[in-house]
Amino acid sequence: MANHNEVFIGIDTSKLRNAVAIAEAGRNGKIRYLGEIDTSEAATKKLVASLARKYRKLTFCYEAGPTGYGLHRHIESLGHSCIVAAPSLVPKKAGDRIKTNRRDAEGLARLLRAGELTAVWVPDARHEAMRELVRARDSARQDLTRKRQQVSSMLLRMGLHYPGIRTWSARHRSWLANLKLEHAEHRFVLEELLVAERQAGERIGRLEQAIRDALGNWSLRDIVPALMAMRGIDMISAVTILAEIGDLTRFANPRQLMAYLGLVPSERSTGDAVRRGPITKAGNGRARRVLVEAAWAYRHPARVGFEKQASVAAAPRPAREIAWKAQVRLCKRFRSLTRKGKKSTVAAIAIARELAAFIWAIAHEVEAASAGTS
């Protein structure tokens, strides 16, 4: 009867129905498939109540995916533990070529009981809303890039080249408006593309303003100005990093953050042979991209430009000190790596890896200061 004191529930989620399986505690505990239920909160509540009447302790799990974290929050609100497993870290047998909802649910329940699942960090509803806003802005930025590429591609096909240096400046737009095209069809298409490009830019402006307005009620708002003291990081970059990674203080040391971002080298070593390859690119790709973009700013000598002075002055003193220490070290290291013959792209990845460590340090300083004042 002792095995009936605890049960582990694996849920294979989908858009309309969830497959449910349970694994009773103990090495020889039974694994049973309970079937499928609706994804509604009422159906989930009924399932939880039914299991709670039979078992003393319930532990749920499901894989992170497109269904989000609503199921996790609902189960937690009912007073039971639920973890969201990282799909890429779920152990799978190499020879297993059969995949069904039932087998997936039973496998999750078995692995949960064995303690083999790696849980992801689950944001609260407010943080998830901020993440959606940041990702919408990133999608708008990609859309603007595509619109501009369409204009450039059309002009290239027509043999037209902008004689200036900086595209999409006021002078470049004036040049586009005054182009003399032979056919009216070309002028019509160009005007439509320019209208789409302008609308995409306006959309980015609206989303960035929405991000600024939302900062006041965000739990990580105090870390944003501190990160903006770092070279190469503005408001949008700081918010993107925090929205995608979440609570930086959950990482015990900077190396954990580097590994989470996929900025550490991959390795395939055996015996005395040590083989390291490119970075793993695991974890959050958006945050990794922002860090790599910021790393390119360190190829220049260390200094605080005029436009950056206001952001540095607004940051707390510990953050300013860490940011300057990072700038002196990383600018020197970027030049050192390139002088040794490393490609600039490889050097940028190395700088991004160390940049993550300084960001971790700033977040811990801000959290410590907040804890001290509260």
Find out whether 16 and 38 touch, Cβ atoms under 8 Å.
yes
Q: What is the pLDDT of residue 272?
A: 77
Q: Is the pLDDT of residue 274 over 80?
A: no
C-alpha to C-alpha distance for 238 and 212, rounded to whole angstroms = 12
Q: How confident is the model at residue 273 (pLDDT cuts 50, 70, 90)?
A: confident
> For 175-192, what is the mean pLDDT?
94
> For 138-161, what is the mean pLDDT?
95
Nearest alpha carbon to residue 230 among 314, 108, 134: 314
Q: Is the pLDDT of residue 1 over 60?
A: no
Q: What is the pLDDT of residue 4?
A: 63
State residue 280 phi and psi, 5-degree precision.
-70, -25
Q: Which tokens sit at 118?
A: 């790696």
State residue 193 phi and psi, 5-degree precision.
-65, -40
Find out whether 212 and 224 touch, Cβ atoms under 8 Å.
no
State residue 11 phi and psi, 5-degree precision.
-125, 125
Q: Is the pLDDT of residue 2 over 70?
A: no
Q: Which tokens sit at 311?
A: 């952001």
- What is the pTM assigned to this prediction? 0.90
Q: Which residue has the higher pLDDT, 97 or 252?
A: 252
Please state whether beta strands 57-63 and 6-12 pair in parallel, antiparallel, or not at all (unpaired): parallel
Average pLDDT over the chain reads 93
State residue 115 phi and psi, 5-degree precision.
75, 30
DSSP state, residue 117: P
> For 167-172, what is the mean pLDDT?
94
Q: Is the pLDDT of residue 256 over 90?
A: yes
Q: Is the pLDDT of residue 37 over 90?
A: yes
Q: pLDDT, tens digit, for every residue of 72-108?
A: 999 999 999 999 999 989 999 888 889 999 999 999 9
- Domains in the chain: boundaries: 2-114, 125-217, 223-373
Q: pLDDT, tens digit, for every residue of 38-54?
A: 999 999 999 999 999 99
Q: Which tokens sit at 124?
A: 């609260």
* For the chain, percent of residues with pLDDT exceeding 70: 98
Q: Is the pLDDT of residue 367 over 60?
A: yes
The CATH number corresponding to 2-114 among 3.30.420.40, 3.60.15.10, 3.40.50.300, 1.20.120.450 equals 3.30.420.40
Q: What is the pLDDT of residue 3?
A: 44
C-alpha to C-alpha distance for 83 and 78, rounded to whole angstroms = 14
